[in-house]
Amino acid sequence: MSALLSVAFLVQVLRISVPYVLAALGGTFSERGGVPNIGLEGILLVGAFGFVLGAHATGSPWAGLAAGVLAGMIAASILGIAVIRLGADAIVTGVAMNLLALGATKFLLKLVWDSASNSGRVEAPAALLDGDGAVGAVLGFVSHPLVLLAAAIVAGSHLLLWRTRFGLRLRACGEHPEAAATAGVAVRRVRAAGVLLSGALAGLGGVWLAAEQHQFSDNMSGGRGYIALAALIFGRWNPLGATAACLAFGAAEALQISLQGRGTGIPTQFLQMLPYLLTIATLVGFRGGARAPAALGRPYEG
């Protein structure tokens, strides 16, 4: 029985962690290029809505997936234009993006489905769990196309950032944009590419949220974008480190769900605070030991 519970817990940790991982990877690319992305929360929300709207309009979950990624990129492009092109403050712009996404999705939810809370149900790319028993559940989960895609993205992100010319240029733009420009790098263009990649990955994280529930719910991102920001700081702006941090946050959330289900007598409200307490502890206790890109948040005037 304990083995079954441990397998079920592991699967739940992975399920919970996927959107955190995708959003954190997106934030890593943006911030490695020197552009803070506080708007991850809003991009997750927009990606989730884009998936449901696309799947609803076409009847194809794969078209919905493409729509969710595209929606995330559009949201990120708005942030990128404001910060990179117009020189707006990245923190204020990110907060504004989150508020805009919350209001816009609520408005469109009412417009399309005449509901202030939930959309209609749509098909997901495939069942998130297949097979009988614990082993079948695990095999079904890890072979799910979105899980395989997320795993490939983690490995690909690490290689892209540390083993390619683009990754070198992106990191140079985040560390010393003037020196990068002297070497012939188009700083604004490279930073914009990082922000767009951030939107695509965070939008895909939103797709996962909506696909798992087969619908869109108002404010369904639920603070995940902010936790993803903490994870990328904890992971030192490194794709593998950010992924490990997201798994830790996912484990904390899975633990609080498990403890609630077992009736431990601990107040539910306290258990629900566990992931957010871990986030605060990470930001307070670890921030001083993590060196951010030197030009993070500094506009490039060239």
Sorted by where each begins, the domain ranges of the chain are 2-289
**Mean pLDDT throughout 219-241?**
92
Phi, psi angle pair for 277, to nearest 5°: -65, -40
Torsion of CA 158, 139, 224, 288, to 10 degrees: -40
Give the whole-angstrom CA distance, residue 246 versus residue 129.
Answer: 21
What's the pLDDT tens digit per position in 31-78? 999 999 999 999 999 999 999 999 999 999 999 999 999 999 999 999
* Per-residue burial over 196-216, b = 16 or more CB atoms within 10 Å of its CB, e = otherwise: bbbbbbbbbbbbbbbbbbbbb
291 exposed, middle or buried (CB, 10 Å; 0-12, 13-18, 19+)?
exposed
Answer for the pair 204, 72: CB distance below 8 angstroms, yes or no. yes
Cα–Cα separations (whole angstroms), residue 133 to 3, 100, 142: 12, 43, 14
Handedness of CA 30, 224, 55, 100 (dihedral sign): negative
User: Token digits for 190?
Assistant: 């490279």
Reported pTM: 0.89
Answer for the pair 283, 230: CB distance below 8 angstroms, yes or no. yes
Give the whole-angstrom CA distance, residue 80 versus residue 43.
Answer: 13
Question: What pLDDT, on a 0 to 100 scale, did the predictor assign at position 189?
Answer: 96
Q: Which of 127, 22, 15, 18 is nearest to 69 (CA)?
A: 22
Q: What is the CATH number of domain 2-289?
A: 1.10.3470
What's the pLDDT tens digit per position in 116-155? 889 999 988 765 444 444 555 555 666 677 788 889 999 9
